[in-house]
C-alpha cells in the first residue's frame, strides 16, 4: 500500500509541471508588450524599456524565460504585482484566509444539505420525497450562484433587513458579526455543491442498498435505521468522499462570483480586480495557486479514501 501512496504522490509532479507550462503560456496570449505597461509614463524612453525587459528576462528566448520563472516559483516567488506593487505571494497569503473561511463554511453547509437529502431520496426511491429531492437538486444545479446571491440580498437585506448585504468581518475579530456577514455567501457558494453531493449520495446509496449484505442484515431482523446507518451509509459514503473532493475546484471558481456579489475582500475579488487592472502576474499566480490547492485537496481525498476503506488498507 505504501508504494501505492508514493505512486499517487509522484503523479502530482508531472501534472503540476504541465500546469506551470500552461500558466506560463497564458502570458504569451497577452496582446502588447508588458514592458510598455510597466514603464507607464516613461514608455517613450528606450533605455527604461530595455532595463525593464532585462529585469523581467523578456529579452531572453522563451525557454530561458520559462526556466527563470519556474525557478523563482519553486523558491516561493510568484512575481510582483504591477498594480498594487507588492509581492504576489504576500497578496495571496493576505486574501486566502478569507476565502478559506467562506469555502469551509460553504462545504459544511453543502454536506449538511446534500448528504441527508441524498439518503432520503435513495430510501424513498421513485416515491414522492425522491421526486422532491431530485427537483430541488436540479434547480440548485441550474441556478447561477451570483443570481442566487443577488436574490438573497434582495430578500434578506433589502426587504427583511435581517443580514448585511455586503462586507466581511474576520472570525477572530467578532464571531457574531463574522457569521452574519458570511452566512449568505456561504449558503450561495454551498448550494450548487449540495446539489452535486445529493446526486452522488443518492446513487451511491441506491447501489449500496442493492447489495446482498443489506438483504442479510435485514433478514437477521436488524432495524431499518441500523441497516441504513451502519451498513448502507458507511459503504455509500466512500465514493462520495472522492467525488466531493472534485467539487472543491467548483468551490474556488464559485468564490470568484460570490465574493464579487457580496463585496468580500477575498481571493476571488482579488482575481477580478487583477483582471481589470491588467495585473497579469497576480492572475498567473491565482491560476497556479488554485491549481496547486486543487491537486493537493484531491490527493488528500484519495488518501482519506484509503483510510476509510479497510479493503484498500489491507492490500
Interacting residues with other proteins (CB under 8 A): 14-16, 18-19, 21-22, 26-27, 29-31, 138-139, 141-144, 146-147, 150-151, 153-154, 158, 165, 249-250, 252-254, 256-257, 260-261, 271-272, 275-276, 278, 280, 283-284, 286-287, 290-291, 294-295
Closer Cβ to other proteins, 1 or 139, answer by number: 139
The label of the residue with cell 533605455 reads 47
91 vs 93: CA distance, rounded Å: 5
Q: How far is the CB of 152 from other proteins (least distance, A)?
A: 11
Closer Cβ to other proteins, 19 or 306, answer by number: 19
Phi/psi at 87 (5° precision): -65, 140
Closer Cβ to other proteins, 182 or 258, answer by number: 258
All residues at 6 or more sequence positions from 161 whose CB lies less than 8 Å from its CB, including other chains = none
Q: How far is the CB of 230 from other proteins (least distance, A)?
A: 29
Tally the C-alpha atoms within 13 A of residue 41's C-alpha that lie toward its C-beta: 0
306 vs 4: CA distance, rounded Å: 10
Q: What sections of 210-247 are H helices per DSSP?
A: 212-219, 224-226, 234-246
Q: How far is the CB of 223 from other proteins (least distance, A)?
A: 30
Q: How far is the CB of 154 from other proteins (least distance, A)?
A: 5
Closer Cβ to other proteins, 145 or 235, answer by number: 145
Q: How far is the CB of 172 from other proteins (least distance, A)?
A: 27
Answer for the pair 197, 114: CB distance below 8 angstroms, yes or no. yes
Closer Cβ to other proteins, 130 or 222, answer by number: 130
Closer Cβ to other proteins, 235 or 271, answer by number: 271
CA neighbor of 259 nearest in space, from 89, 170, 145, 179: 145
Closer Cβ to other proteins, 129 or 175, answer by number: 129
Q: How far is the CB of 290 from other proteins (least distance, A)?
A: 5
263 vs 150: CA distance, rounded Å: 12
Quick one: CA dihedral 170, 174, 178, 179, positive or negative?
A: positive
Q: What sections of the chain are H helices per DSSP?
A: 2-10, 12-29, 34-39, 46-55, 62-74, 88-123, 128-142, 145-152, 175-209, 212-219, 224-226, 234-246, 248-261, 267-276, 280-308, 310-314
Q: How far is the CB of 216 from other proteins (least distance, A)?
A: 26
Amino acid at each position: 500500500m505504501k508504494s501505492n501512496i508514493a505512486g499517487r504522490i509522484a503523479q502530482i509532479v508531472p501534472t503540476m509541471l504541465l500546469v506551470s507550462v500552461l500558466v506560463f503560456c497564458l502570458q504569451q496570449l497577452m496582446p502588447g508588450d508588458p514592458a510598455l505597461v510597466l514603464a507607464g509614463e516613461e514608455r517613450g524612453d528606450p533605455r527604461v524599456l530595455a532595463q525593464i525587459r532585462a529585469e523581467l528576462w523578456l529579452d531572453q528566448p522563451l525557454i530561458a524565460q520559462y526556466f527563470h520563472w519556474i525557478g523563482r516559483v519553486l523558491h516561493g516567488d510568484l512575481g510582483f504585482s504591477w498594480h498594487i506593487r507588492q509581492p504576489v505571494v504576500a497578496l495571496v497569503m493576505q486574501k486566502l484566509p478569507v476565502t478559506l473561511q467562506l469555502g469551509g463554511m460553504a462545504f459544511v453547509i453543502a454536506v449538511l444539505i446534500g448528504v441527508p437529502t441524498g439518503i432520503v431520496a435513495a430510501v424513498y426511491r421513485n416515491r414522492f420525497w425522491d421526486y422532491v429531492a431530485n427537483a430541488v437538486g436540479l434547480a440548485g444545479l441550474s441556478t447561477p450562484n451570483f443570481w442566487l446571491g443577488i436574490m438573497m440580498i434582495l430578500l434578506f437585506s433589502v426587504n427583511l433587513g435581517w443580514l448585511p448585504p455586503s462586507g466581511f468581518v474576520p472570525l477572530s475579530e467578532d464571531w457574531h458579526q463574522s457569521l452574519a456577514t458570511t452566512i449568505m455567501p456561504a449558503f450561495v457558494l454551498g448550494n450548487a455543491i449540495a446539489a452535486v453531493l445529493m446526486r452522488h449520495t443518492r446513487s451511491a446509496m441506491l447501489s449500496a442498498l442493492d447489495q446482498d449484505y443489506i438483504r442479510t442484515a435485514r433478514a437477521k431482523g436488524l432495524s431499518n435505521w441500523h441497516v441504513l446507518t451502519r451498513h448502507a451509509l458507511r459503504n455509500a459514503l466512500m465514493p462520495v468522499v472522492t467525488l466531493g473532493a472534485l467539487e472543491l475546484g467548483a468551490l474556488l471558481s464559485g468564490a470568484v462570483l460570490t465574493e464579487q456579489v457580496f463585496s468580500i475582500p477575498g481571493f476571488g475579488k482579488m482575481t477580478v480586480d487583477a483582471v481589470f487592472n491588467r495585473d497579469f502576474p497576480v492572475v498567473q499566480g491565482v491560476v497556479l495557486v488554485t491549481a496547486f490547492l486543487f491537486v493537493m485537496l484531491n490527493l488528500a481525498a484519495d488518501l482519506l479514501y484509503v483510510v476509510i476503506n479497510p479493503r484498500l488498507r489491507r492490500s
